[in-house]
A = this chain, B = another copy of it.
Amino acid sequence: MSDQEALIKANQAFYQAFESLDIEKMEPIWLRDSKIVCIHPGWRKLTGWGPIMNSWERIFDAVFEMKFELRDLHLLVSGDMAVVVTEENLTQRGYEGTMRTQVLATNIYERVGSRWMMVVHHGSPVIQPADDEPPLQ
């Protein structure tokens, strides 16, 4: 398996863990290290194992179902660090009904042995409508 194939598989495993809504499936995705960073769309930055795993538990508790359709995967690999930038087309079902949103995610992985482990997840909302001019900064 090439670096890129292994990376795509690691990234798929992250979204499968996300869809599982099971913290025990999310834990092995991440490097267990104080340097890890997670930014959920609109949230403040979280760092370190405890706060990040706690955030996943809160998200998993609050929804019944999450489905991701990934589009436009963009990979950068350099040695033992790699980046996947992707568009998440997300359908979530929760207490307030079904919502469809579009999120842009930058996922960063570090290779430990033969595995790509997540070290950064940065998700952010797309505010700009599909065919409009981009808004200013």
Contact = CB atoms under 8 A, between A and B. Distances in A.
23 contacts: A35-B74, A37-B74, A37-B85, A39-B106, A41-B124, A43-B126, A43-B127, A44-B126, A45-B85, A58-B136, A63-B137, A76-B81, A78-B78, A79-B79, A79-B81, A81-B83, A83-B119, A92-B137, A106-B106, A122-B124, A123-B124, A124-B124, A124-B125
A62 B136 contact: yes
A31 to B, nearest CB: 10
A135 B42 contact: yes
Number of copies: 2
B125 A43 contact: no
A135 B35 contact: no
A134 B80 contact: no
A35 B76 contact: yes
Interface residue SS majority, chain A: strand
Interface of A: 35, 37, 39-45, 47, 55, 58-59, 62-63, 66, 72, 74, 76, 78-83, 85, 87, 92, 94, 104, 106, 108, 110, 119-120, 122-128, 134-137
